[in-house]
Amino acid sequence: MRGIWLILFAVTAGFTASGIVANLYKLVAPKADTPFGWGLRAVVMVVAGPSVIFESAIKGFIAKEWKPVTFWLVAGAIAYWSLALGLFVIEIAVAM
């Protein structure tokens, strides 16, 4: 049971970090019109990806543009991506 809680904590930590980075990027980043802008966006999306993709998936699911199976497959992939980010965030926090 303890392992399940640790996994859920790591997924939550990763998704939270993703949301924070995505919102900070939306606030301060320039438009991706230049090669530097595109490169910066690609680097940020490594961390912010789960939040951005989940937002698009929710909008598509509510608008009936996505089938339920597609939505749940994407949600599973996002959970796995968030788990990896969360483990990285926890590792950094423990190292400090």
What pTM did the predictor assign?
A: 0.85
Residue 77 is part of which domain span? Answer: 2-95
- pLDDT tens track for 17-68: 999 999 998 888 767 677 887 888 888 899 999 999 999 999 999 999 999 9
Q: Annotate 22-60 with DSSP letters as a single string.
A: HHHHHHHPPPTTSHHHHHHHHHHHHHHHHHHHHHHHHHH
Q: How far does Cα 54 stand from its chain's mean position?
A: 7
Residue with tokens 């320039």: 30
The total domain count for the chain is 1
- pLDDT tens track for 57-84: 999 999 999 999 999 999 999 999 999 9
